[in-house]
Amino acid sequence: MSARFVALVAGIIFFFLAVLTQGVLPFIEPSARTTEVTAVVRTDYGQLKWMLSDATDYTPTQQLGRQIYLREGCWYCHSQYVRPVTGETRRWGPVSEAGEYAYDVPHLFGTRRIGPDLTRVGLKYSNEWHFAHFWNPRELLPDSIMAPYRGLFDTPRDPVKIVDDGAGNRTLENNAVTQKLFDFSSKVQVKLTPNAGGLLFVPLEARDKAPAIIVPNNEYIGNTVMIAAETKELEGLIAYLQKLGMNRGKWRDVFEPQQLEVTQATLPRSSEWIAYGRVVYERRCVGCHGAKGDGNGPAATFLYRQRPRSFAAAVFKFRLTKEPVPTDGDLLRTITRGVRGTAMPPWYELPLTDRLAVIQYIKYELAVDRSDPAKPYSFFIEEPPGAPLHIQRPPTPSQQILVRGKEVWQIAKCWECHGNTGRGDGEKAAGLKDDLGFPIPPADLTTGQFKSGPAVEDIFRTMTTGLSGTPMPNYRDSLPEEDRWALAYYVLSLSAFTDPITGEPLPIAPADRTALNDPKLQADTPDKAYIPNGRAQRTGGSKAARGSPRGAAAAKQP
């Protein structure tokens, strides 16, 4: 018997064994029968704690997306499993748990990772980022080898004319094509902006609205556009991606690589670093922010809810300075953390020198007023940032602080924009615009996706400095410090014990809610997760484990 024959027989046996174990047995006897997972919740006092919870099944829309994911072969390149090694957990997030796969039959663990692992991709990017990514991945990531998925869009063959609506506003021609995408009889408008090449993205939410084409800064000067419209399949696929990892709750808010705190970090100004920063910018940033830094990159039309930042006016939302110009530390914090709920992703995986270099390019090449070519005005040279503001240690949270915070919410009239419950549906919400003339919706505070960061210090910083370029004012002079702290705690409480995707309340018993609200309760890692009383009783947990952190060592509270 030759070695070749033995190898052939062994290969055939192992092939059919793989088919049996990977293809047949999961349907007959799924290995994951438990839905138990550990998840991060935000308490009423703004603390983030792990607790034992249950994974939830996919919604019909998410299930449709999973079918599209399978059909399009996304799982060929993308794995869905975080292994228990340091490199994995610092790149992707917490280690995978069996309960996360309770509703995944067949499972999509994968091994190849030609593309990034997607186990924790949920809410890392906004829906708008995904729209742009599926249209042309290389607009966002030039080194991506992923193919465009333009077949998921509705792309009419012929261009559509931009016309006057009779009231001096620009709209689209009312024809057989556009009637399928809009309701021209509606009094509610959806405001859309083409990119510089004339591509116009149309979301599904436009179906019951009339189109309004807005180009307040001459973002597009043509008279016709090509349309790329969202479809139900695309909606489902993105909903599925946003679900991945979210059975672990608000875990990203405790993800250490995104918790950068810095007041000052910089590189010496030099032509070499600026030139290198330009290389980084053109590879990582130009797709959204544009070659000129004006926020009008080719992907910008997909970002219809919140336009990319224009660097030309040197107006930055997130800073810890009294003056509008931020420090390098402020910019580094934003680039590293990203801006939650928007298309600006976290760039913690980018080398630190790359992040610092691109800051130099933004400061000295893009944040320059060139309206007078003979006398360009460099904001960071002419108006250097002042010293960072000092933020003291936050007061210990309490029910009294939350009560005062709710009173300050009324006094400061936060409800006019954010609504009485913080969902971003206040009476003034529909008419808000940023400094460039684009609509800017108030944040839905119930989801807990805070642009400036998830900690009470981050919210306090926003209350103190405001968000430059937006209708969000600063309260540094109008509210005393103790009221700003109270308001910050109250804002965090609006997303307490809520689902990070829907913002809906989680099913948590009052006794468990009270226990989790105890500042002395330590549940800062999955192995110390709080075990609800009812679950401990169902699983036969010891009396010491009920309503306490997980594990014997963690059962002792300080």
Higher local confidence (pLDDT), 540 or 184? 184
At which of 248, 265, 290 does a domain end?
248
Mean pLDDT of 378-406: 93
Shared domain check, 269 and 212: no
What distance in Å separates the CA atoms of residue 272 and residue 278, rounded to the nearest whole number? 10
Q: Is there a domain that residue 557 lies in?
A: no
Phi, psi at residue 164, to the nearest 5°?
-85, 140
Higher local confidence (pLDDT), 261 or 491? 491
Q: Which domain holds residue 16?
A: 3-32
What distance in Å separates the CA atoms of residue 328 and residue 316, rounded to the nearest whole number? 12
User: pTM value?
Assistant: 0.91
Q: Is there a domain that residue 239 lies in?
A: yes
Asked whether the beta carbons of 47 and 525 are under 8 A apart, the reply is: no
- Report which of 118, 122, 106, 116 is spatially closest to residue 39, judged by C-alpha positions: 122
Of 100-114, 351-365, 529-543, the one with minimum mean pLDDT is: 529-543
Confidence of residue 555 (pLDDT cuts 50, 70, 90): very low
Q: What is the pLDDT of residues 116-166, one digit of tens each?
A: 999 999 999 999 999 999 999 999 988 899 999 999 999 999 999 999 988
Shared domain check, 368 and 292: yes
Confidence of residue 478 (pLDDT cuts 50, 70, 90): very high
Shared domain check, 114 and 210: yes
Shared domain check, 226 and 119: yes
Shared domain check, 287 and 201: no
Compute CA distances 103 → 36, 110, 225, 442, 474, whole Å. 12, 16, 42, 35, 46
Shared domain check, 343 and 313: yes
Is residue 545 pLDDT above 60, yes or no? no
pLDDT at 30: 57
Q: Is there a domain that residue 539 lies in?
A: no
Dihedral sign for Cα 517, 519, 520, 524, please.
positive
Is residue 517 pLDDT above 80, yes or no? yes
Could you tell me which residues come within 8 angstroms of residue 289 by beta carbon, excluding any fewer than 6 positions away?
281, 295, 297, 308, 309, 310, 311
What distance in Å separates the CA atoms of residue 81 and residue 100, rounded to the nearest whole number? 10
What distance in Å separates the CA atoms of residue 246 and residue 184, rounded to the nearest whole number? 38
At which of 230, 248, 266 does a domain end?
248
pLDDT at 553: 38
* 68-77: burial string, b at 16+ Cβ within 10 Å, e else: bbeebebbee
pLDDT at 355: 97
* 299-332: burial string, b at 16+ Cβ within 10 Å, e else: bbbbbbbbbbbbbbbbbbbbbbbeebbbbbbbbb
Mean pLDDT of 295-320: 94
Confidence of residue 537 (pLDDT cuts 50, 70, 90): low
DSSP-derived 3-state class of residue 409: helix
Tokens of 183: 């309701």
Q: Which residue's structure tokens are 């869905």? A: 80
Mean pLDDT of 448-473: 95
Q: Is there a domain that residue 243 lies in?
A: yes
Q: Is there a domain that residue 159 lies in?
A: yes
Shared domain check, 215 and 80: yes
Shared domain check, 276 and 242: no
pLDDT at 557: 39
Dihedral sign for Cα 519, 520, 521, 523, please.
positive
Confidence of residue 192 (pLDDT cuts 50, 70, 90): very high
CATH number, domain of 428, equals: 1.10.760.10
pLDDT at 296: 96
Confidence of residue 215 (pLDDT cuts 50, 70, 90): very high
Overall domain count for the chain: 4
pLDDT at 263: 75
> Residue 65 corresponds to which amino acid?
G
pLDDT at 167: 82
What distance in Å separates the CA atoms of residue 392 and residue 131, rounded to the nearest whole number? 41
Sheet holding 160-164, edge to edge: 170-172, 160-164, 224-229, 199-202
Burial class (CB in 10 A: 0-12, 13-18, 19+), 147: exposed
Decide the pairing of beta strands 377-378 and 36-42. Answer: unpaired
pLDDT at 544: 37
What distance in Å separates the CA atoms of residue 17 and residue 285, rounded to the nearest whole number? 47
What distance in Å separates the CA atoms of residue 136 and residue 146, rounded to the nearest whole number? 9
Mean pLDDT of 222-229: 97
pLDDT at 538: 52
Shared domain check, 334 and 189: no
Q: What percent of the chain has pLDDT over 90?
A: 80
What distance in Å separates the CA atoms of residue 247 and residue 98, rounded to the nearest whole number? 11
Q: Is there a domain that residue 558 lies in?
A: no
Q: Is there a domain that residue 285 lies in?
A: yes
- CA–chain centroid gap for 337, Å, is 10
Longest pairwise C-alpha distance within the chain: 90
Q: Is there a domain that residue 556 lies in?
A: no
At which of 494, 510, 529 does a domain end?
494
Shared domain check, 376 and 237: no
Shared domain check, 22 and 149: no
Query: Of the ranges 85-89, 254-258, 359-363, 431-435, which is most confident?
Result: 359-363
Shared domain check, 473 and 353: no
The average confidence (pLDDT) of the chain is: 92
Mean pLDDT of 93-120: 91
